Structure 1
Amino acid sequence: MQALFKNNCLLCGASATGDFCASCRDSLPHSPPHQCAVCALPLAESRICGACLAKPPAFDHSVAAMSYAFPVDALLHSLKYQANLAMASVLADLLIARIDPDALPDFIVPMPLHPARLRERGFNQALEIARRVSRKSGVALLPGICRRIKDTPSQTGLPWKEREKNIRNAFSCEADLGGKHVAMLDDVMTTGATLNELAKALRKSGAAHVSGWVVARTLSSHDKFP
C-alpha cells in the first residue's frame, strides 16, 4: 500500500514519498541556522541584528523557509511567471515546515497585488500559497482586508535603497485587528521594505503583533552566511 503514495521527485525524478527525494530535500537552500529574529538575515548567533535594533521595522518577527537560490528560485518563478499553480502547495509545505506550531497567529494576510497587476497576471501568488498554509495550519485567512492602492514599479528592478521610497504608503487596511497577531505572507523577502509597509497598515488597524512569513529570503553577497 505504501508504494501507492510514492511520487517522483520534482527535481531529479527519483522515487519520493513527498515532493522531493531525501537527497534533493537535503540539498535545498535551507535558511541558515542562526538568523536575526526580526529580518531573518543570517548572523553568527541567533539574536536581533544591529540594523533592526537601530531602526526597528513595523513587524516584530519573520520566518523564511529558504534562501532565495537555486532550485527554490526556479520553483517560485514557475508559480509566479508560468502560472504553475500546483507549485503553490509545494512552496506552502516548505514554509509550514519552518513555522512554530506553538506560536501561530490569529490571522494570515497575503501580500496584496494592485488590481492592475492582478489583471495582468491573473492570480496572486502570495494568496495561492497562503490558501494552502491556512488550510494546513488551521490559521484563518483574511485575503480581502488589505489593498494595494499604489501601482508601483516592480521592486525587482530597483536599487535596494530605492525600494523603501517606491513602496511607501502603498497599502490600506480596512479591518479591526485590535490586539491580534497577524502574519503577513509573501513569496520572497529582499530588503523587507514591502513587508514593512504592509505591517504599518496592519498596525494602523490595531494589530498588536505582526509577523512576516516568506518562502524565500534574498541574501546579498555580503549577507551570505559561510
Structure 2
Amino acid sequence: MVNNWSIIIQNYLFPPTCILCGHPGQSEKDLCLYCESGLIRATECCYRCGALFEETSTAPMLCGACLNKTPYFDETHAVFVYTGAIRYLLTTLKFGGQLKHARLIGQLMAEQFLTIVEIPECLIPVPLHSERYRERGFNQAIEIAKTIAKRMDIPVDLDSIIRQRSTGHQTELSAKQRKKNMLNAFAVKKKLPFNHVAIVDDVMTTGTTVSELAKALKKSGVHRVDVWVCARA
C-alpha cells in the first residue's frame, strides 16, 4: 500500500511524459500510446540466439548458425528490433547518459517478460570493465536490470562476475574479430547458488559477449542461462 501511494503521489507531482514526443505518458511510463505502437517488436526470431527471421512461423525455430553450433546460452528473449526509436533510446542512454531511458526500457522489457513461463532465479547484468565504468560513470545493463528486477521481484547479482579484460568497443569489428576479442573476458569471483539465471543487456548484435558470459556462468555450475535484451540487431 505504501508503495502504491508513493507511485500515486509521484505521478501526481511529476506526471509521466513521453520521452519521444513530449505528450502525456501512459501506464506510469514516459511513453505515449502512439509512440509505443510505433516501436518494432522482435516477433519472428531464433529462440536460441534471437536472430531475426524474415518469414513467419507458428512454431519455435532455430537459425542456421545455432543448428551448426549451439551457443553457451539456452534462450534469447529480445523485445524489439534495434531500429528507429528504440535505437535512439539505447544510443542516448549509453552514450548520452540519459538514465531515465533505462527506466523506460526496463519497464517495457518487464511487461513482456512477465508472460514468460520460466522466470530465472537471478538477473546478471553484463559487467563493464572498471576502466569503461570510470569513463562512462554507469553501466546501462545494470540500470535496465534494476527496473526489471523491481517489477518482477527477481534479485540482481552484481558481485559474482567481473569483466577481467578491457575489450574496447566492438562496433566496428567483424563477427570473427568480436569472438577473438571477447575470449575469456569474464571471470566468476564466487560460485552462484542458482540453477537458472538470465543475462541482461541493452542490445544484442552477434551474441559474442553474452555467449562468453554464459560460458563462464556454466563453468561455475549454473545449468541454464537465458539472455534478456531490449533489442536485437
Task: Tell me the TM-score normalised to structure 1 length.
Answer: 0.89
For the residues of structure 2 that align with 1:16 and 1:116, how far apart are their CA atoms?
Answer: 37
Shift in CA distance, 209/20, structure 1 to aligned 2, threshold 3 Å? same
**What is the CA deviation profile of residues 46-66 of structure 1, one whole-angstrom value per residue up to 9, with x for unaligned ones?**
312221121000000011111
Following the alignment from structure 1 to structure 2, what is the Cα–Cα distance between the partners of residues 113 and 192? 16
Deviates more, 1:8-17 or 1:137-146: 8-17
Among all aligned residue pairs of Structure 1 and Structure 2, give the percentage whose two residues are the same amino acid: 39
Q: Map residues 34-73 of structure 1 onto 2, 5 A cutoff.
A: 34-43=44-53, 44=55, 45=57, 46-73=60-87
> Of the candidates 72, 89, 92, which is equivalent to residue 75 of structure 1?
89
Q: Write out per-residue CA displacement over residues 45-92 of structure 1, whole angstroms, 9 at most, x where no aligned residue.
A: 231222112100000001111111111111112211111112111010
- The answer for the alignment partner of 1:16 in structure 2 is 25
After superposition, what is the alpha-carbon deviation per residue over 1:105-160, rounded to whole angstroms, capped at 9, x for unaligned?
A: 01101100011111111111111111111111111110111000111121112122
Please state how far the C-alpha of 1:177 moved relative to its aligned partner: 3.3
What CA RMSD, in Å, does the superposition of the two structures yield over aligned residues? 1.8
Contact 1:177 1:205 in 2 (8 A): yes
Residue pair 1:167, 1:194 contacting (<8 A) in 2 also: yes
State the Cα distance separating 1:101 from its structure 2 match.
Answer: 4.3
Matches of 1:203 and 1:11, distance apart in 2 = 39
- Checking the alignment, whether the CA contact within 8 Å between 2:123 and 2:149 is kept in structure 1 is yes
Size of the alignment, in residue pairs? Answer: 216
CA contact 2:126–2:200 (8 Å) conserved in 1: yes
Letter in 2 for 1:111: V
- 1:145 partner amino acid: S
- Residues 160 and 192, structure 2, Cα contact 8 Å, conserved in 1: no
1:62-211 → structure 2 map (5 Å cutoff): 62-99=76-113, 100-177=115-192, 180-211=195-226
Kept in 2: contact 1:178–1:205 (CA 8 A): no
Alignment-derived partner of residue 36 in structure 2 = 25
Whichever residue aligns with residue 19 of structure 1, its letter is D
User: Structure 1 stretches (4+) deviating beyond 6 angstroms?
Assistant: none
Counterpart-to-counterpart distance in 1, 2:15 and 2:97: 25
Whole-Å Cα distance in 1 between the matches of residues 194 and 96 of structure 2?
Answer: 39
The letter for the 2-side match of 1:89 is: R
Q: Give the letter for the 1:54 counterpart.
A: N
Letter in 2 for 1:214: V
Q: CA deviation at 1:19?
A: 2.2
- For 2:51, the aligned partner's letter is L
Distance in 2, Cα, partners of 1:9 & 1:118: 29
Cα distance in structure 1, aligned partners of 2:202 and 2:221: 25
Conserved 8 A contact 2:122-2:154: yes
Pick which of 52-61 and 80-89 moved more: 80-89
Residues 146, 172 of structure 1: 8 Å contact kept: yes
Amino acid paired to 2:218: R
Q: Output the TM-score relative to the length of structure 2.
A: 0.87
